[in-house]
């Protein structure tokens, strides 16, 4: 799923009019991509992951920790960070063609099956089922498997997600380093080297996750519908839309990871008030 805005044409337009236009475009694609639901799904993911990382040896799995996680991944805070990241990309007005695609019946259906697929992959059972589907697909319909791989490549899903994950992990360390109890052991060089050591494992995970996700989500599409999705992704508007989407999510995830790092340090030494 991608983020998009619509273009507008005018030879002369005031700065205030541009700002008003941009605001209306944000509303338009937030509606088309059902971003309110997306942010709620991501909050559920973040809280679940934060609970999983808690243990008697690190962060106590307490109601206070859960409440802190819910605050870190609050959908309204996520939305504001996302918009900040999105607006840092130049030319976000030049995605009218992509926006129009997501406002069609097919585009709206794609948005929903992508959300459902992400939710399905949030459990070990869902991951195992997806992996089994991928194995079967390689044998039974290699042409469709290659279409999914082409979709992943066209949209740069592995590279963009790897970069985003590395930046988020660095933000987590930097958040921890704001606490004087951990600052000395978390030098910038240590944080950078630690993050880069994680790159091969993260890349492998992303390669697996993107094909699993694609197989689960787009099995609901015909090959002709999937090809339409690939075609719009290959356009200049589709590529620009991707850049805007990843900029928004990168900003959001980095902010959340930084806050998670700060919270982790505070809770580990008992400063959880």
Say if 74 falls within a structural domain. yes
Check: CB of residue 26 under 8 Å from CB of residue 89: no
Run means of pLDDT, 10 residues per run, the chain, 273 residues: 31 34 69 94 94 74 92 96 88 84 95 96 93 96 97 96 96 94 89 95 96 96 97 95 91 97 89 59
User: Can you tell me the distance from the alpha carbon of 152 to that of 134, in angstroms, rounded to the nearest whole number?
Assistant: 14
- The pLDDT value recorded for residue 82 is 94
User: Can you tell me the distance from the alpha carbon of 31 to that of 155, in angstroms, rounded to the nearest whole number?
Assistant: 22
User: For the chain, how are helix, strand and coil distributed in percent, rounded to 5?
Assistant: 80, 0, 20
- The pLDDT value recorded for residue 238 is 94
Structure tokens at 76: 């309204």
Buried/exposed code over 120-159 (b: 16+ C-beta within 10 A; e: otherwise): bbeeeebbeebeeebeebeeeeeebbebbeebbebbbbbe
Radius of gyration of the CA atoms of the chain, in A:
20
**In terms of residue numbers, what domain contains 154?**
15-268
Say if 3 falls within a structural domain. no
Structure tokens at 100: 């129009």
Residue 11's alpha-carbon distances to 24, 142, 215, 219, in angstroms, are: 20, 49, 45, 44
Say if 163 falls within a structural domain. yes
Q: How many CB atoms lie within 10 A of CB 265?
A: 21
Say if 249 falls within a structural domain. yes
Picking from 83, 82, 55, 57, the residue whose alpha carbon sits closest to that of residue 256 is 82
Check: CB of residue 2 under 8 Å from CB of residue 98: yes
Say if 56 falls within a structural domain. yes
The 8 Å CB, 24+ separation contacts for 201-209 are 202/162, 202/165, 202/166, 203/158, 203/162, 206/157, 206/158, 206/161, 206/162, 206/165, 207/158, 208/131, 209/121, 209/161
Say if 4 falls within a structural domain. no
- The pLDDT value recorded for residue 2 is 37
Say if 8 falls within a structural domain. no
Say if 140 falls within a structural domain. yes
Q: pTM for the full model?
A: 0.86
The domain total for the chain is 1
- The pLDDT value recorded for residue 4 is 32
Picking from 240, 86, 78, 256, the residue whose alpha carbon sits closest to that of residue 165 is 256
């Amino acid at each position: 799923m991608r983020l998009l805005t619509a273009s507008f044409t005018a030879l002369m337009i005031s700065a205030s009019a541009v700002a008003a236009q941009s605001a209306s475009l944000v509303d338009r694609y937030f509606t088309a991509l059902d971003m309110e639901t997306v942010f709620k799904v991501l909050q559920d993911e973040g809280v679940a992951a934060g609970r999983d990382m808690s243990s008697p040896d690190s962060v106590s799995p307490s109601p206070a920790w859960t409440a802190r996680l819910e605050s870190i991944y609050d959908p309204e805070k996520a939305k504001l960070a996302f918009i900040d990241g999105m607006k840092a990309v130049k030319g976000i007005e030049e995605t009218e063609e992509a926006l129009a695609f997501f406002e069609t019946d097919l585009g709206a259906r794609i948005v929903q099956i992508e959300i459902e697929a992400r939710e399905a992959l949030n459990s070990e059972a869902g991951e195992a089922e997806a992996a089994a589907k991928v194995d079967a697909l390689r044998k039974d319909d290699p042409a469709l498997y290659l279409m999914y791989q082409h979709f992943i490549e066209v949209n740069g899903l592995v590279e963009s997600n790897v970069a985003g994950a590395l930046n988020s992990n660095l933000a987590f360390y930097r958040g921890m380093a704001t606490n004087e109890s951990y600052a000395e052991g978390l030098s910038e060089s240590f944080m950078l080297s630690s993050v880069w050591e994680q790159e091969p494992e993260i890349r492998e995970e992303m390669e697996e996750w993107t094909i699993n996700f694609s197989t689960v989500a787009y099995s609901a599409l015909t090959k002709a519908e999937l090809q339409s999705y690939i075609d719009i992704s290959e356009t200049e508007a589709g590529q620009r839309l991707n850049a805007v989407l990843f900029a928004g999510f990168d900003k959001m995830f980095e902010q959340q990871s930084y806050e998670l790092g700060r919270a982790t340090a505070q809770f580990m030494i008992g400063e959880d008030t």
